[in-house]
Amino acid sequence: MGALLCSALALALLLAPPAASAAEVIKIGGPAVEGMFLTTHFDEEGVTTPAGRRYAAEYRRKFAKAPDALWALGYDAYNVVLDAIATIKQGRFKYVTTVKP
């Protein structure tokens, strides 16, 4: 039974969240993270929008490396704030004054 358990553990997958895609994880983890699987919400090769392609190209130009998922999230959050400010300035936003159950 012990040998079977050891074999099963040797085949176990290391699953990680999107933050694990940062280069520092691989650098620090070394062989311990070899073969790691992770989920992500950004991959430069999967960018389909013109704004996303501009962002990735500008990031590469400025930092000489590919943007990672955390930088892409920061870019998205920044643009959400800019859009909210523009929406309010243009009067397209109506404040909700009452909430009914």
Domain ranges of the chain: 1-40, 44-101
- pLDDT value at 41 more than 90: no
Instruction: Tell me the mean pLDDT in the region 38-65.
Output: 89
Q: Residue 37 is inside which H or E element, if any?
A: strand 37-38
Give the separation between CA 72 and CA 59, rounded to whole angstroms: 10
Q: Are 24 and 46 in contact (CB under 8 A)?
A: no
Q: What is the pTM of this model?
A: 0.59
H helix count then E strand count, the chain? 4, 2
Q: Are 43 and 60 in contact (CB under 8 A)?
A: no
Give the separation between CA 10 and CA 13, rounded to whole angstroms: 9
- pLDDT value at 15 more than 80: no
pLDDT at 1: 46
| 53-100 pLDDT per residue, tens | 999 999 999 999 988 888 888 999 999 999 888 888 887 766 655 556
